């Protein structure tokens, strides 16, 4: 992997991501990042905004785009790095993300790149969870022809309050089998913001700091949304 050098000490963060008040340690040129995401219930969008804010705080440049708006997304070749994020539903990622990768596979592969796979399964710790996720990513790689340099699994959210009766029942059963939250009277955000921040910092080559404070702010203030 090509390591990108960023800069900046991380300070107090807002709920949509770290704040913009980082001060540079040295005049290093910012990295220009293209961040494209696919979302079905909103949690991956929230994750993408978190990643964007984290990158901006470290002094990088970021263009964030929904894969469904492909006509307005510039080609990856004009960027230094590419981050793609998508969520799993019934074992498959969003079609717009798959189509975007297939169209731009060569350009993405020529850049420093990473893939954020968002799912409820990512919150599990059983060997079968890891095996299931590996299989889904392998299917994604076969379909798109793109092998990400770095892959990071991110837990999503259970939005019981927005599900219909059958979906709520089905999701509760799935959560119960995997040891997840089953209280359908409330929603449950499973995303580990600390872990995600550390991954992004390592990806871009900046030090982690004050991660926990930002994660706590997100948990207490930000609206909950699903994968």
Looking at the structure, tell me whether residues 138 and 215 fall in a common domain.
Answer: yes
| Gyration radius of the chain's alpha carbons | 17
CA distances from 180 to 44, 137, 163, 173, 174 (A): 19, 22, 17, 9, 8
Lowest mean pLDDT among 6-20, 72-86, 213-227: 6-20
Lowest mean pLDDT among 84-98, 111-125, 204-218: 204-218
CA distances from 152 to 1, 2, 28, 192 (A): 14, 17, 26, 12
Instruction: Report, as an integer, the average pLDDT of 53-63.
Output: 96
Looking at the structure, tell me whether residues 87 and 54 fall in a common domain.
Answer: yes
Percent of the chain clearing pLDDT 90 (strictly above): 52
Instruction: Report, as an integer, the average pLDDT of 59-82.
Output: 95
Query: In this structure, what token pair is assigned to residue 46?
Result: 């929230």
Query: In this structure, what token pair is assigned to residue 121?
Result: 């399964």
pLDDT tens by residue, 168-205: 888 787 777 777 777 888 878 889 999 999 999 999 88
For position 128, what pLDDT does the model report?
A: 86
Looking at the structure, tell me whether residues 111 and 174 fall in a common domain.
Answer: no
Going by the DSSP 8-state scheme, the letter that residue 37 receives in this structure is E
Q: How many CB atoms lie within 10 A of CB 69?
A: 10
Looking at the structure, tell me whether residues 92 and 181 fall in a common domain.
Answer: no
Query: In this structure, what token pair is assigned to residue 21?
Result: 């008040």
Which band of pLDDT confidence, cut at 50, 70 and 90, is reported for residue 226?
low
Q: Residue 4 domain-assigned?
A: no
Residue 1, pLDDT > 80, answer: no
Residues of the domain holding 169:
158-189
- What CATH number does residue 198 fall under? 3.40.50.360
For position 189, what pLDDT does the model report?
A: 83
Percent of the chain clearing pLDDT 70 (strictly above): 78
Residue 219, pLDDT > 90, answer: no
For position 207, what pLDDT does the model report?
A: 57
């Amino acid at each position: 992997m090509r390591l990108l050098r960023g800069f900046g000490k991380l300070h107090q963060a807002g709920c949509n991501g770290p704040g913009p008040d980082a001060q540079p340690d040295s005049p290093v040129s910012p990295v220009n990042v293209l961040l494209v995401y696919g979302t079905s219930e909103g949690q991956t969008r929230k994750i993408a905004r978190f990643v964007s804010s984290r990158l901006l705080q470290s002094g990088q440049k970021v263009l964030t785009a929904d894969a469904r708006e492909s006509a307005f997304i510039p080609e990856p070749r004009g960027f230094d790095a590419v981050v793609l994020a998508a969520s799993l539903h019934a074992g498959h990622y969003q079609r717009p993300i798959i189509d975007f990768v297939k169209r731009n596979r060569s350009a993405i592969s020529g850049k420093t790149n990473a893939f954020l796979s968002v799912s409820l399964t990512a919150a599990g710790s059983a060997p079968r969870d890891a095996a299931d996720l590996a299989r889904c990513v392998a299917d994604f790689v076969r379909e798109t022809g793109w092998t990400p340099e770095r892959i990071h699994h991110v837990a999503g959210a259970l939005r019981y309050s927005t599900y219909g009766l059958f979906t709520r029942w089905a999701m509760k059963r799935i959560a119960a089998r995997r040891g997840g939250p089953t209280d359908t009277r409330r929603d449950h955000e499973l995303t580990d913001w600390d872990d995600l921040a550390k991954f992004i910092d390592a990806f871009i080559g900046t030090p982690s700091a004050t991660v926990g404070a930002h994660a706590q702010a997100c948990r207490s203030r930000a609206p909950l949304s699903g994968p």
